[in-house]
Amino acid sequence: MATITEGVMQKASVKDKVTKLLGVNSLDARLSLVFIGIAFIAFLLGGILGLLQGLNRAGLLELPAWLNYYQVLTAHGVLLVLVFSTTFTIGYFYAALSHTLGGLLPKVRKMGWVALGLMVIGVVFVATTIIRGNASVMYTFYPPMQASPWFYVGLVFLVIGIWVTAFGAFINVAHWRKNHRGEHLPLLAYFATGVFVLLFFGSFGVTAEVLYILPWAFGWTDTINVILTRTLFWSFGHTLVNIWYLTAVSTWYIAIPKLIGGKLFSDSLARLVVILLVILNITGGFHHQIIDPGITPQIKFMHVFMSLAIGFPSMMTAFAMFAVFERAGRKKGAKGLLGWFKVLPWGDVRFLAPMIAMISFIPAGAGGIAQTNFQLNQVVHNTMYIVGHFHLTLGVSVVMSFCGAVYWLVPHLTKRVLTPAMNKIGVAQTIIWTLGMTLMSGAMHWVGLQGSPRRTSYTTYGDNATALGWDPYLFLLAIGGTLLIIGCILMFYIVFNLMFLAPKGETEFPIAEPEEDALPTPKWTERWTMIIVLMLAVVAMAYVIPLVDMIFNAPPGSPPFRTW
Amino acid sequence: MKIHRMEEIWLIFGVAIIVISMAITGYQAFAFDMEPPSGTEHIDPQKVDETAPFDNPGVFKTGDNTYEVVMTLQVFSFTPNEIELPKGAEVTFIMTSKDVVHGFQVAGTNLNAMIVPGYVQRITQTFDEPGEYLVLCNEYCGAGHQAMATTITVK
């Protein structure tokens, strides 16, 4: 018995050593690179469409008849919210699993390619229907607006693709755990597990929604329960937001301390953050529906509490990050209360970009707490304020974290290096992006507070005085958008350079080590079954009563409409 | 699992912010009837024109400077539109949609509600300041969404 275990251990450690020597498994790297490549193609296209909207919204650009504003907006949302974020997350975590678990299993790698194929088919369906003008329904596709049925078929393919990658990750993690009994899953793989658990369970709602819509879209059923579809959508939409956030946070905890010469703050607390985000995540959906009918204020209030609970792990993260910065700075000899702040490597884009991401999360998080807080939401719901909010969270915190990871992840995978010249371009990109987003998001917040609505093309509502007063802010928004397209093109060039042009060399996958005096991580953090059961219990508390009420106490349904 | 003393203080501070803000908004909402619009009354969205009170949309005086506005929303208009009200009027808007989801928002006030087919939404506002208020649809509803607006004039 002992010899068998030893044999397995030996085999595993030999495999670990081989991976370490060779740096990266090139077969795994190719899969991740294709996912990341697709992510940044979507990023560029989505950015260009974003610029068109910004210019139109400010009254500076009239879109041609064949390119409707709402068509552009739908494509912008789908490309950035669904395609960019999801493909990057998968590419990044598959690279992380390959690196920390000693390579992907051949079976899992195959599943990755199958998933990629499914997602490409899905995107083709979705993109074709949007381009042909048959699906100008926004990425939220609220019924009873009805897109071409093939739009929903595309969404089904996308979701199945996501599920295949989630199962691939579970298989790889389970395999590692079987061969490493009694050991803790490496922290980055732990984050990956959390993200894929959320991707899998979080997409149940939208899957149910799309399967419910499909027969209606093909004309086999006559009417649809509108409020039910909105609720199912946001059970997913809200989770998706936090999946990006958890992905971004994983780079903050694990890569950044290593890059700035520091150590991991606390392995246990980082795992606790993952656990809390997994358990508390899915249940905030109704804060997107605070002024919807058909849901009682009491249930909405409970959801608001559940979604604000996310503030707790966020506060833990903020503390951990600044503690890491201070310790790293003091180790370098920084003196005084804030001396450590100055010695941080501001000229290193691998630090600067994610640091901007963290800083922007402070106003973004505070604004989020304000706008989601029950009747306060009524002041800003569906105004430009909301758009300003998620361009700070998704557009800065998440995008800058993802870009920050690109500078080491892509050269690690392609066996190239980030040159000082490319670092400079990266710093410029980060500054331009920050300026652009500050202008654009700031203008959106301000004009939204005054009542300017989201998802609306250029209009003065018949030269209404109130609406005309919004124009100067919308002009600022367009200036911000113009800066952003420069940042967008620069970033695309950087990714292209790191993939194909940068000089050959070795780039490390930065994984922070624990402090010498770190305490051991408690064993219960490995009990995923318990975590998932707790998560499902919280989801049941939040959703069983309102969903049953919506289904069994439904108003007469709605027939389909095509209003564009 | 050991948590640093400073971190404990920080986290208590964080939880306190959330709990206190929820307590204040919750108290206001449930004690002073400031809940967000959450209409649970049903209506057949295909029979709005035949269902009271929407068979006769309009502005109705219900008491001493209190009014009811019975309103339907449809692509891409509000019925009735160009509403006129006296200063200080307390108005309850009773609304439903005849087709897709619309939004009812009055710039410069807290009036904001989703109008979802199948449900009746009610929302009340007192207009203390005279002037022209812009009413607009804030939920994307189709090609003419940017034209879906009207005004409330308070004299």
pLDDT of A199 > 90? The answer is yes
φ and ψ at A117, to 5 degrees? -60, -45
Q: Are A362 and A425 in contact (CB under 8 A)?
A: no
Minimum mean pLDDT among A42-46, A172-176, A232-236, A285-289: which range?
A: A285-289
pLDDT of B104 > 90? The answer is yes
**DSSP at A523:** G
Q: Which of helix, strand or coil describes residue A295?
A: coil
> What residues are paired with B136 via a beta bridge?
B105, B149
Write down the residue that tokens 């397995």 correspond to. A8
Does the beta-carbon distance from B11 to A319 stay under 8 Å? yes
Does the beta-carbon distance from B101 to A142 stay under 8 Å? yes
pLDDT at A455: 94
The tokens of A504 are what? 């050959």
User: Which amino acid is located at A234 in the chain?
Assistant: W
Q: What is the pLDDT of residues A502-552, one digit of tens each?
A: 999 999 999 999 888 888 889 899 999 999 999 999 999 999 999 999 999
Does the beta-carbon distance from A291 to B29 stay under 8 Å? no
Q: How far apart are CA A224 and CA B154, in angstroms?
A: 39
Q: Are A286 and A234 in contact (CB under 8 A)?
A: yes
Pairing between β-strand B58-63 and β-strand B41-42 as defined by DSSP bridges: unpaired
A378 reaches B (C-beta below 8 A): yes
The tokens of A158 are what? 């996308």
pLDDT at A10: 47
A373 reaches B (C-beta below 8 A): yes
Q: How far apart are CA A14 and CA A179, in angstroms?
A: 13
Q: What is the CATH number of domain A24-288+300-512+531-548?
A: 1.20.210.10
Continuous segment of H or E residues that includes residue A452: none
User: Which amino acid is located at B128 in the chain?
Assistant: D
Query: CB pairs below 8 Å between A and B: how many?
Result: 219
Q: Would you kindly state where each structural domain of chain B is located, as residue ranges?
A: 1-35, 41-154
Q: How far apart are CA B105 and CA A509, in angstroms?
A: 50
- As a whole number, the mean pLDDT across chain A is 92
Does the beta-carbon distance from B101 to A369 stay under 8 Å? no
Q: How confident is the model at residue A247 (pLDDT cuts 50, 70, 90)?
A: very high
Q: Which of B18, B118, B140 faces A226 most closely, judged by CB atoms?
A: B118
Distances in Å between the alpha carbon of A42 and those of A152, A288, A291?
20, 26, 33
Q: How far apart are CA A253 and CA A267, in angstroms?
A: 9
Continuous segment of H or E residues that includes residue B81: none
Residue A272 with chain B: CB contacts under 8 Å: 1
Residues A177, A511, A239: CA angle, nearest 5 degrees: 70
Residue B100 with chain A: CB contacts under 8 Å: 142, 144-145, 561, 563
The tokens of A80 are what? 């950035």
Residue of B nearest to A556 (CA): B44
pLDDT at A9: 46
Does the beta-carbon distance from A375 to B36 stay under 8 Å? yes
Mutation for A interface: B28, B38, B129, B141, most A CBs within 10 A: B38
Residue B47 with chain A: CB contacts under 8 Å: 556
Q: How confident is the model at residue A306 (pLDDT cuts 50, 70, 90)?
A: confident
Mutation for A interface: B138, B150, B154, most A CBs within 10 A: B138
> What residues are paired with B125 via a beta bridge?
B91
Continuous segment of H or E residues that includes residue A553: none
Give CA torsion, residues A160, A164, A166, A172, to 10 deg: 180
- Mean pLDDT for the stretch of residues A144-164: 96
pLDDT at A13: 52
Reply yes or no: is the peptide bond before residue A297 cis, omega within 30 of 0. Answer: no
Distance of CA B83 to the CA centre of its chain: 16
- Mean pLDDT for the stretch of residues A280-298: 89
Q: How confident is the model at residue A16 (pLDDT cuts 50, 70, 90)?
A: low
pLDDT of B6 > 90? The answer is no
For CA atoms A27, A31, A37, A41, give the dihedral sign: positive
A336 reaches B (C-beta below 8 A): no
Residue of B nearest to A319 (CA): B7
Picking from B109, B114, B110, the residue whose alpha carbon sits closest to that of residue B95 is: B114
- Mean pLDDT for the stretch of residues A33-62: 95
Give the gap in angstroms from C-alpha B12 to the nearest C-alpha of chain A.
9
Q: Which of helix, strand or coil describes residue A150?
A: helix
A482 reaches B (C-beta below 8 A): no
A301 reaches B (C-beta below 8 A): yes
pLDDT of A14 > 60? The answer is no
pLDDT of B126 > 60? The answer is yes
Q: Which of helix, strand or coil describes residue A222?
A: coil
Give the gap in angstroms from C-alpha A373 to the nearest C-alpha of chain B.
7
pLDDT at A5: 44
Buried b (16+ CB within 10 A) or exposed e, A14-24: eeeeebeeebb
Q: Are A515 and A193 in contact (CB under 8 A)?
A: no
Q: How far apart are CA A370 and CA A361, in angstroms?
A: 14
Residue B17 with chain A: CB contacts under 8 Å: 311, 369
Mutation for A interface: B47, B140, B141, most A CBs within 10 A: B140
Q: Options 3.90.76.10, 3.40.190.170, 2.60.40.420, 3.20.20.70; which CATH number does B41-154 get?
A: 2.60.40.420
**Residues 26-65 in B contacting A (C-alpha not used; CB under 8 Å):** 26, 28-30, 34-40, 42-47
